[in-house]
Amino acid sequence: MAVNETTGTAGPDDGGSDDGGAPELLPCGRDAATVWDRAEAGVPPDEHERDCPYCTATAADAMRLDAVVHRMAAAPVEPPPAVLERAMDKVRGALARDLREHELLTLASPLGPVRLSRAAAATVLRDAVDRMGDVRARSCQVEQNEQIDAGTTVAMTVSALYGVDMRAVAARVRRMVIAAGTQALGLPVGAVDVTVVDVFGEGDA
Amino acid sequence: MTGPTDPAVRLHVEAPAVASVAAHRARLVPGVVALRPGGVGATVQGGAAEVALTLVTRLGHNCRDLAVAVQREVTNEIADVTGLAAVVTVTIADVLTD
């Protein structure tokens, strides 16, 4: 079973919103981006949002990402030795790898070239989606357009919790990827393709 | 007393010195978990330096903002210490998520 949610690539001629996509409607008819932005700005939920499972989930997504991207500022952490050692193993591996040009994305900087490992970008986006709870990221491809301003195109396959509305999942994943790209990576995302490739039950590992 | 007739002091800064300054300063930028050991590249030509840094960060620091901060801090430090104008290339090799 596959549900495909594809958004058009934002071209410079579109003159659309800054994230470059058409409004992403939740099954209740609300735009996921609007619900997200209101929650992020601390606007209390209106009557509809309080009772709507789609809007509630979308607002919770916004809060989860916010907690992740601001957690370093909030809590200076001294990780336990085991965690630190595991992290340093990853660090040594990452630094030893020879990164080739095609494995790198370009980030906008006024001060000189900045590149980001494509695999690292995908890891961050997948991690953000995994935190949503009722969806798990599978594959994630990040492609950069020749014009950096047009934003990157992200193609993600996900597994959704059995019983959740897949249209809502697709809309929320799209919103999460765009927000995580901006807030965690500093990488504008112009288009997101979400494909639900599988479902999982509450008890599945 | 100095004047135009004094012999000029010629300072020549070798690339490894520039690389050391860059690595030292970059490690102090919050969000930089590690730098590629011994692999900070630097070249010096005339009054200009080019520096390439490969680093790892962790989730919670915006990658672009971190890279720009590293570029700014390293460029300023090299200018202060060596007088060289530097262009700093930053490559983020990985982002730790746990």
- Beta-carbon separation of B60 and A69 below 8 A: yes
Tell me the nearest-neighbour CA distance from A93 into chain B, angstroms.
9
Band of residue A193 on the pLDDT scale cut at 50, 70, 90? very high
Chain A contact for B85 (CB, 8 A cutoff): no
Q: Mutate which of A92, A115, A129, A148 to test chain B, going by most B C-beta atoms within 10 A?
A: A115
Please list every residue in chain A whose beta carbon sits closer than 8 Å to the beta carbon of residue B60: 68-73
In angstroms and rounded to an integer, the radius of gyration of the C-alpha atoms of chain B is: 16
ipTM of the complex: 0.88
Distance of alpha carbon A167 from the chain centroid: 16
* Predicted local distance difference test score (pLDDT) of residue A20: 46
Nearest CB to A95; choose among B34, B72, B89: B34
Question: What tens digit of pLDDT does each residue of A63-110 get?
Answer: 999 988 887 655 555 667 777 787 778 888 878 777 888 899 999 999
What is the arithmetic mean of pLDDT over A140-151?
Answer: 85
- Say how far apart CA B11 and CA B19 lie, in whole Å: 17
Please list every residue in chain A whose beta carbon sits closer than 8 Å to the beta carbon of residue B75: 111
Structure tokens at A32: 């996921």
Query: 3-class DSSP state for residue B29?
Result: coil
Chain B contact for A124 (CB, 8 A cutoff): yes
Phi-psi label, residue B79: left if phi above 0, alpha if psi -120 to 50, beta otherwise:
alpha
Helix (H) or strand (E) holding A42: none
Q: What are phi and psi of B13, to 5 degrees?
A: -105, 125
- Beta-carbon separation of A109 and B91 below 8 A: no
Question: What tens digit of pLDDT does each residue of B46-82 get?
Answer: 889 999 999 999 898 999 999 999 999 999 999 999 9
Pick the closest to residue B54 from A96, A158, A73, A205 (CA basis).
A96
Task: Give the residue on B whose Cα is nearest the Cα of A120.
Answer: B94
Nearest CB to B95; choose among A112, A114, A120: A120
Distance of alpha carbon A198 from the chain centroid: 19
- pLDDT at position A17 over 60: no
User: Could you tell me where the beta strands, DSSP code E, fall in B1-98?
Assistant: 34-35, 41-45, 48-58, 85-96
Structure tokens at B85: 């104008």
pTM: 0.85
Band of residue A12 on the pLDDT scale cut at 50, 70, 90? very low
* Predicted local distance difference test score (pLDDT) of residue A31: 94
* Predicted local distance difference test score (pLDDT) of residue A92: 81
Q: Kindly report the average pLDDT of chain B as a whole number.
A: 89
* Predicted local distance difference test score (pLDDT) of residue A26: 94
What is the arithmetic mean of pLDDT over A109-131?
Answer: 96
Structure tokens at A58: 């979308």
* Predicted local distance difference test score (pLDDT) of residue A117: 95
Q: Kindly report the average pLDDT of chain A as a whole number.
A: 85
In chain A, what percentage of residues exceed pLDDT 70? 82
Domain ranges of chain A: 3-73+81-200
Size of interface A-B (CB pairs under 8 A): 118
- Say how far apart CA B30 and CA B27 lie, in whole Å: 8
Measured in residues, chain A has a length of 205
- pLDDT at position A166 over 50: yes
CA distances from A116 to A105, B11, B27, B92, B93 (A): 5, 35, 18, 5, 6
